[in-house]
Amino acid sequence: MAKLPAEQQHPVEALGWAARDTTGVLSPFKFSRRATGEKDVTFKVLYCGICHSDLHKIKNEWGDTNYPCLPGHEIVGVVTEVGSKVQKFKVGDKVGVGSMVGCCHSCDNCANDLENYCPKMLLVYNSIYYDGTPTYGGFSNIMVADEHFVIRIPDSLPLDACAPLLCAGITTYSPLKHFGLDLPGSLYDQPGMHVGVVGLGGLGHAAVKFAKAFGVKVTVFSTSPDKKKEAIERLGADSFLDSRDPTQMQVVMGTMDGIIDTISAPHPLLPLIGLLKSHGKLILVGAPEKPLELPVFPLLMGRKIVAGSCIGGIKEIQEMIDFAAKHNITAGIEVIPMDYVNTAMERLVKADVRYRFVIDIGNTLKIA
Ligand code: NAP
Ligand code: ZN
Ligand code: ZN
């Protein structure tokens, strides 16, 4: 079946924008979606965020891209059809799908609601689905997914500004919680956590918002000094430092309990390890295309930890979305039409977005 043209693999006509080669240039792409299976939820896509992972992927920076590559994994919309065995959703519901559309449901990770670490996890695009056809992401007019991977969007959240939570949100919420960086101060106990957020892009700004909602102290480390005013006044960061200024960095050496490193490009870890207190944790969530150099001695001197974290499980994504609704957390977004996507990708390379592009799929993806 996979050998059939993308338009003929399934019964439902679909349109999206896909990259055909490593230039990463996206253009209209006709393909098809499966009919709604008994456990499937089908929805009209209204908005889709642009994550830097989409950029890495369309340009084959991680070396594993299959073309045509139709990206998008911060997908939200309204349900148009549900299968006969679907229990959690009905037509008209506001829903979202993030990075995952399949997992084995039987390994230890799946048993612990960590589908994101299942060795058989299927990605929403650039994976091969169980029926042998490629998966295509959210830069498209229609989406279908097993209900297990569908997230309910509370009514109080605006669909456009909550789309980025499905990746940027969970990718920062999950490590803040898991590594205990969410502990606020208490009157009788220890002072609260002091968290560093490195890189103020899509993930970084979500990290600041969640960390502040948890009640911890946040210092942003950025290469873009012009982001300072907004970081403090609108995102609520406690301080903002220019990570390229050694004098500013020196002042806060040894003061962080944890750091969420969201940088998308290769960068030195030594200065970041130096920012940590003893037992501090440097959590890498950014995914540069080349390995980073890990200096060992600065880790030994202070029992410091370097770890990684990848999105979050479905249960935790729902928890994060519900938390966001309760605390009024949405992404800072620039809504763009579909045909602006290639310009948006060029601007994303230059860290020129506050803080996430979201494509208005519903109004601007034209069926030719
Ligand atoms: P983004 O919006 O482009 O933000 C990245 C930020 O990193 C930029 O805004 C910039 O912040 C900083 N930066 C970029 N290049 C830099 C350089 N050469 N040196 C120092 N700082 C630099 O990207 P994003 O969507 O947040 O994604 C960030 C990374 O996380 C990507 O690699 C992405 O693939 C990865 N990711 C991982 C997961 C996961 O599950 N672990 C999930 C989603 C994304 P300043 O302007 O403030 O310096
Ligand atoms: Zn992402
Ligand atoms: Zn599994």
Q: Say what the pLDDT of residue 28 is.
A: 97
pLDDT in tens, 346-359: 999 999 999 999 99
Helix axes 314-326, 202-214, angle to 10 degrees: 70
The per-residue pLDDT for 3 is 80
Q: Which two tokens stand for residue 40?
A: 């499937």
Residue 122 CB neighbours (<10 A): 21
pLDDT at residue 104 is higher than 90: yes
> What are the pLDDT digits (tens) for 240-275?
999 999 999 999 999 999 999 999 999 999 999 999
Q: How confident is the model at residue 191 (pLDDT cuts 50, 70, 90)?
A: confident
The token duo for 187 is 């009157």
Distance 115 CA to ligand 1 centre (A): 23
Q: Is the CB of 199 under 6 A from ligand 1?
A: yes
Q: How confident is the model at residue 185 (pLDDT cuts 50, 70, 90)?
A: confident
Which CATH number does the domain 171-308 belong to among 3.40.50.720, 3.40.640.10, 1.10.275.10, 2.70.70.10?
Answer: 3.40.50.720
Write down the pLDDT at residue 187: 60
Question: For the CA atoms of 232, 236, 241, 243, what is the dihedral angle to 10 degrees?
Answer: -120
> Is the minimum distance from the CB of 172 to ligand 1 under 6 angstroms?
no
For the CA of 351, the closest atom of ligand 1 is 9
Closest ligand to C-alpha of residue 103 is 3
| Whether the CB of 224 sits within 6 Å of ligand 1 | yes
> Nearest 5°: phi and psi at 320?
-65, -45
pLDDT at residue 42, rounded to an integer: 98
Q: What's the pLDDT score for residue 368?
A: 58
CATH homologous superfamily for the domain 10-167+331-364: Medium-chain alcohol dehydrogenases, catalytic domain (3.90.180.10)
What pLDDT shows up at residue 67? 98
CA 332 to the chain's CA centroid: 14
Spell out the domain ranges in the chain: 10-167+331-364, 171-308
Give the Cβ contact number of residue 90 at 10 Å: 10
In the chain, what's the furthest Cα-to-Cα distance?
A: 66
Angle at the Cα of 164 (from 63 to 103), degrees rounded to 5?
Answer: 55
200 Cβ inside 6 Å of ligand 1: yes
| Contact 203 CB / ligand 1 (< 6 Å) | yes
Same topology, domains 10-167+331-364 and 171-308? Answer is no
* Residue whose CB lies within 8 A of the most ligand 1 atoms, among 57, 179, 262, 316, for a mutation test: 262
Pocket test for ligand 1, best of 203, 227, 245 (most atoms within 8 A of CB): 203
Query: To the nearest whole number, what is the mean pLDDT of the chain?
Result: 96
DSSP state of 128: B
- Whether 356 contacts 202, CB under 8 Å: yes
d(CA 105, CA 88): 18
Task: Give the C-alpha separation, 100 to 122, whole Å.
Answer: 6
Phi, psi of 229 (to 5 degrees): -55, -50
CA distance 357 to 337: 10
Write 59-65 long-range contacts (CB < 8 A, 24+): 59/19, 59/22, 59/23, 59/24, 60/22, 60/24, 61/289, 62/287, 62/289, 63/289, 64/126, 65/19, 65/22, 65/126
Q: How far apart are the C-alpha atoms of 262 and 172, rounded to whole Å? A: 9
Nearest atom in ligand 1 to 223's CA: 48
Q: For residue 366, what pLDDT is reported?
A: 81
How confident is the model over 12-38, as pLDDT tens digits?
Answer: 999 999 999 999 999 999 999 999 999
Provide the phi-psi class of 307: left if phi over 0, else alpha when psi is between -120 and 50, else beta.
Answer: beta
pLDDT at 190: 72
**pLDDT 10s digits, 126-167:** 999 999 999 999 999 999 999 999 999 999 999 999 999 999
Which ligand has an atom closest to residue 310 CA? 1
CB 57 near ligand 1, within 6 Å: no
User: How far apart are alpha carbons 223 and 270 in whole angstroms?
Assistant: 16
Predicted pLDDT at 188: 67
Closest ligand 1 atom to 349 CA: 3
CA count, 13 A, side-chain hemisphere, 38: 2
The amino acid at 261: D
Q: Is 202 in the pocket of ligand 1 (CB under 6 A)?
A: yes
Q: What is the pLDDT of residue 82?
A: 98
Going along the chain, which residue ranges are E strands? Answer: 12-19, 26-33, 40-50, 75-82, 94-97, 100-102, 122-123, 142-146, 151-152, 194-198, 217-222, 239-242, 256-261, 276-284, 305-308, 333-336, 356-360
Going from the Cα of 349 to the center of ligand 1, the distance in angstroms, rounded, reads 9
Q: CA nearest 276: which of 246, 306, 296, 247?
A: 306
Residues with Cβ within 5 Å of ion ligand 2? Answer: 51, 53, 167
60: Cβ below 6 Å to ligand 1? Answer: no
The ligand whose atoms approach the alpha carbon of 120 most closely is 3
Instruction: Calculate how far, in angstroms, residue 165's C-alpha sits from the geometric centre of ligand 1.
Output: 15
Number of alpha helices (DSSP H) and beta strands (DSSP E) in the chain = 12, 17
Q: Is the pLDDT of residue 367 over 70?
A: no
Q: Give 347's Cβ-side CA count (13 Å radius).
A: 16
pLDDT greater than 70 at residue 1:
no
